[in-house]
Amino acid sequence: MKRFLKKLGAKPLGRLLSPVLQMRRRIDLLSNVDRGTQILLSLKYRQMRGRGEAPPSFTDVGFREFSGTDEDGILLYIFSLIGVHNRTLVDIGAALPQGSNSANLLINHGWTGLLIEGNIKAVLEAREFYRKHPDTSHFPPKIVQAWITVENINDIIMEAALPPEVDLLSIDIDGMDYWILEAINSISPRVIVLEYQDILGPDQAWVVPYRPDFNPASYAANQGEPNYLGASLPAFAKLASKKGYRLVGCNRYGFNAFFVRSDIGAELLPEVSIADCLVHPKAQAGMRDRFPKIADMDWVEV
């Protein structure tokens, strides 16, 4: 979604790429769960795990500190249950800290990692933000400006000299997300969070054909709303299964999915059905009203 907005024109781009200080002020105003509260929540989740208590659902644990919706709370919950290995992440399509799946972990939980973003202005602002923030200034994340393709993604990751096993991979590039995930073989993330095209519903394993220069704004179906891009949840679930991951849930509105590697915490975070991730009225409305606009467009069935 972030990348889609950037390609629609100057107005959305201006809102996303506001000066660093204004962005920080917006983030502060929108923040709702501070670090201390998050630490207490994490300790509570671990206590529940140790006692064998029934875990809460994703809808009960989600909150937004930096993320677009409730991804920050869900990620805190997941890693409280399964533990962390090295607090390292890779965020592909990172954009700015506001709306990011990685900023809360970097700032409030001492994580490090690699952020990749195609827009140079967003990269410069993010670098400035993390360089000046007191919780990341001593060791800010590595932020790379690159247009991400199947052909270059592994080289970019390997150049960052990350450990082969990272705790988190986040992908949100509004277009070729499926093909990028399929191509990644340079790291083994323990958890993956990615955006899927919810309007495609629970049955079609459909993907936009691979084009390294894909631009969603060039399609009439995307004027005003992101319809023709990405891949369906069934497509991602099939790919994730091949790579050794299970679907464990989604964000509140049903467009960001969370996968955990199959050798980790199956008893704590069991697999959920695809249909369970498409029950929100937003997803239902998209399947009803927006899917017909792109049903006959060019899709790859996987």
Do β-strands 142-145 and 88-92 pair in parallel, antiparallel, or remain unpaired? Answer: unpaired
Alpha carbon separation from 120 to 88, 95, 113, 116, 127 (Å, rounded) = 23, 10, 19, 10, 10
Question: pLDDT tens for residues 184-243?
Answer: 999 999 999 999 999 999 999 999 999 999 999 999 999 999 999 999 999 999 999 999
The arithmetic mean of pLDDT across residues 146-164, rounded, is: 97
Give the rounded percent of residues in the chain with a pLDDT score beyond 70: 90
Give the relative orientation of helices 120-132 and 20-30 as an angle to the nearest 10 degrees. 70
Q: DSSP H helical segments within 133-211, as ranges?
A: 153-159, 177-183
Q: Which domains does the chain have, with CATH numbers?
A: 2-301 (3.40.50.150)
Integer Cα distance of 236 and 64 in angstroms:
24
Nearest to 207 by CA among 187, 171, 182: 182
Looking at residue 106, what is its pLDDT? 98
Looking at residue 25, what is its pLDDT? 47
Looking at residue 190, what is its pLDDT? 98
- Residue at 37: amino acid letter: T
Average per-residue pLDDT in the chain? 91
**What is the pLDDT confidence band of residue 273, given thresholds at 50, 70 and 90?**
very high
**What is the pLDDT confidence band of residue 293, given thresholds at 50, 70 and 90?**
very high
Looking at residue 96, what is its pLDDT? 93
Contact by Cβ (8 Å): 66, 27: yes
**What is the pLDDT confidence band of residue 54, given thresholds at 50, 70 and 90?**
confident
Contact by Cβ (8 Å): 191, 169: yes
Give backbone dihedrals phi and psi of 281, rounded to 5 degrees, phi first: -55, -30
Integer Cα distance of 174 and 255 in angstroms:
12
The arithmetic mean of pLDDT across residues 264-269, rounded, is: 96
Looking at residue 24, what is its pLDDT? 45
Asked if residue 27 has pLDDT above 60, the reply is no
Which residue is it, tokens 């994340």?
A: 141
What b-and-e string marks burial along 112-140, b requiring 16 or more CB atoms within 10 Å of the CB?
Answer: bbbbbbbbeebbebbbbbbeebeebeeeb
- 0.85 cut: is pTM over it? yes
Looking at residue 31, what is its pLDDT? 52
Sign of dihedral through CA atoms 195, 75, 92, 99? positive
Question: pLDDT tens for residues 88-138?
Answer: 999 999 989 999 999 999 999 999 999 999 999 999 999 999 999 999 999
